[in-house]
Structures are given as structure tokens and as C-alpha cells.
Amino acid sequence: MPSIAVTATDSRTEGSESMNAENNDVLGQSPDWHRRLDLGRLARLKARLLEHDCAAGLFYDPMNIRYATGATNMQVYSMHNPCRYVFVGTEGPVILFEFAGCEFLAEDRPAVDEVRVAQAWYHFAAGPRMMEFARSWCAEIVDLMRTYGGGNRRLAIDRLDPIGTHLLEEGGIEIVEGQEVAHLARIVKTPEEITAIRQSIDVCQEAIRRMIAGTRPGMTENAIWSILHQTNAERGGEWIETRLLTSGPRTNPWYQEASERRVEEGDIVCLDSDLIGPHGYGADISRSWTVGDRKPTDDQRRLYALAHEQVSRNSELFMPGRSFFEIADLARRMPEDYLANEQPAIAHGSGLCNEFPLLIHSDKIRAKGHDGIIEPGMIICIESYAGAPGGKEGVKLEQQILVTEDGPELLSDMEFEEDLLE
């Protein structure tokens, strides 16, 4: 297998900012760069709508709204309150329906042709008038399809409550699965997206280094985890998707979240960042380290070596043109005593968040997964967790790569823990 190339910070794509005390402005990109970012993404989305023979797309997922328009507003709130949406005409305008009073936020977005006030018909906003407001919303969408669809009634929608689905179908609209359309558009990154992802990774790695340096016996897991948030906010990032930081006996099994447990001398601390950084792009990196000055135990080193070997070996598999099934068949597995707690995913895509595709291990991928082809421009996160069932501790590691024409390029290039690799 070819070795993974590590890109030095000073040779990165145009606009990437090094993370140091003198330069905190990771958002410093030219207006032309922002224009290319927005219009490049929109072009990919419209191309997928055309391939699916859709007259338009209607997107509620805030990730898809941002991908289509570049506009962002109350991202976390709008994940569970459908308060804003976008109509993307395949050969027509992009009309952003924004939360009332926020229309001005998208005035300068080059991908947005028109901004209107969103019709809120979800129960929190509409109460007993939900059906009345939903019919008003439906009439506006049907009118847009009639105006810009050219007779095509196929509308891709990523998420929609049942009332809206029924009303649109009664109005003669054929609903197409819109998450598939959006995911396939987002699967290959534009050059500007790759620049933004590099910036988020820089922010994330700076945060992890601060966490490791700042960990002291007696700190709570929540206090250590808060350093990730603070650094991300300081450096222009946006939010953290999970709370996956644990210590000592709470590292096994994986998927527990940060608590008020106080870390002790010699504990392992495990982190899965799930960080949404500058420009809304994700950095999904996992690292594990020990607390205090005590040397790691043989068991801790063994766990770390298992996770390090798996994540390193599997990172090398992501060659362009290779199938998902082939990668699953070639992937490094944990020893038998560790399999029950092994991460079910070999890897997953990443962009504005964790994204399609999801590759699972060979014993499950044909029954519960699917095949596909690795393409240049994909951003992939490779997972590993080592922790035997009933064991005292575990180790979580994860790397983020860019698939290039020549193979995988390592993006998460921060160091591993030397004392755990001895």
C-alpha cells in the first residue's frame, strides 16, 4: 500500500490560515473565494436535480440550505424547528424562505436570487392554525412549480412533515427523495470546500492540543470537553455535534458522553471531536491521551497500538476507483477478543457534517450496507476503537483524509501520543 502523504501547513490550498497566536482570523477569505464556494456548490446541486429529472428541490435540512445558498441562520434551532427552507429551481431561481425578520442575512449571497419570509406551519409556531398555514405554504410551492417547472411536477424534498407531503401530492406534485439528491451532490468537494475543511481541521487540532496540554488530575470530563468548544468559538467555528469525551473506566464501552466524573492520575481520556468549524465544515478527529505524569501501563499501550494500527492501515485503502465492498474486504479488523466492541463503521464521509457514504465492516456491509466507488475529492474519516468487552479502558482514534487522484492525503496530521506508542 502507498504511504499517506502529509501536507505541511505552509503548502496548503489558497486561503488556508496557520493556527498561531498572531493569526486568529481563520475566516479571512476574499469575496471572490466566497462567491466560488457558493456557486460551485449550487452548480453541483442543480446538476444532481437534473440527473434525477426534477424540476426543483425543496430543502429544509439546514446543511442542505447552506449547501444550496451559502446562507446560515440558527443552524441548530432549525434542525428541529422547520422554520426556514429553500426552493432551488433546476433551471430557475433559488428562492430562500427565511425566518421572519432575518431576510437581510442573505442579501449578499450570490447563489440566492430572492428572499421571502418562510411560512411557519409546524405546531410550535402555528398551534391550532397549522392546517390553515400549511395550505398557504402548499399553494406557494405549487405556484413556484407551475411557474418554473416547465410542466415537470417532480420535486425533490429532503424532509417534510406528513401534512405537507399529503397537501403537495393533492396539489399534483410528485415528491422525489431529496436527501439522496443532496448527498450525491455533496459527496465530492469543490476546491473551496477543501480549503474550508482544512481550516476546520486546523481549528480542531489546535483545540485537541489545548485539551491534552490542559488536562490535569481532578478536572471533570465536562471541563476538559469545554476547551474544545471554547477554542472552536474563538477561532470562528460554530458548534459540536456530540459530547463524546470519556475517561478511565467510562472509556469502555465507547459512546458514553462527557460527565462530571473527575479524571485521575494515569487515566486514559478519549475524544471524538465531531466539530463544526469555520464556514460550517466538519472536523471529525479522535484522539486519546493519559492524565498526569504517570507512565502508561502495558494495557494502555496495547490498546493504543491496536487502534493506531487499524486506523493507519485502513487509511491507506481509500484509493480512487476502489469499491466500498473491496475496502470492507481489505480492512484491518480488531483481534477476536475485541470484535464485540469494534466500531461498526470503517469510515464515513465528511463535509458540512458527517456525510454520505458510510462504510461498514465486511461481515455486515452486504446485508446492511451498500456498494459504491471511491472518487477523488471525497473527504473520508477513518474510525477505530480498541476496547475488549469487560475491559477497564478503551482507546478511540480517528483520522480525516482527502482522496486525491494519487490516493489518500492525510488532513488530520497532528501527532499521536509518543508515550503510548512506545
Q: What is the mean pLDDT of residues 32-45?
A: 97
For residue 250, what is the DSSP state? G
User: 210-221 burial, b if ≥16 CB within 10 A, otherwise e?
Assistant: ebbeebeeebeb
Tell me the three state secondary structure of residue 167. helix
CATH numbers and ranges of domains, the chain: 52-186 (3.40.350.10), 191-421 (3.90.230.10)
Please answer whether residues 197 and 411 qualify as being in contact, where contact means their C-beta atoms are separated by less than 8 angstroms: yes
> Per the structure block, which three cell numbers stand in for 84?
426556514
Q: Which of the two residues, 189 and 23, has the higher pLDDT score?
A: 189
Task: Report whether the peptide linkage leading into residue 253 is cis, meaning its omega lies within 30 degrees of zero.
Answer: yes
Instruction: Name the band, by pLDDT with cuts 50, 70 and 90, for residue 278.
Output: very high
Tell me the three state secondary structure of residue 117. strand
pLDDT score, position 286: 98
pLDDT of 21 higher than 50: no
Kind and range of the H or E element at 59? strand 56-59
pLDDT score, position 10: 32
pLDDT of 23 higher than 90: no
Strands (E), 186-251: 239-240, 245-247
- The conformational region for residue 292 under phi > 0 = left, psi -120 to 50 = alpha, else beta, is left
Burial class (CB in 10 A: 0-12, 13-18, 19+), 328: buried
Please answer whether residues 246 and 257 qualify as being in contact, where contact means their C-beta atoms are separated by less than 8 angstroms: yes
Instruction: Name the band, by pLDDT with cuts 50, 70 and 90, for residue 28.
Output: low
Pick the closest to residue 316 from 227, 409, 202, 245 (CA basis).
409
Tell me the three state secondary structure of residue 286. strand
pTM: 0.92
Contacts of residue 335, Cβ cutoff 8 Å, sequence gap at least 6: 306
For residue 20, what is the DSSP state? B
pLDDT of 66 higher than 60: yes
Letter for the amino acid at 23?
N
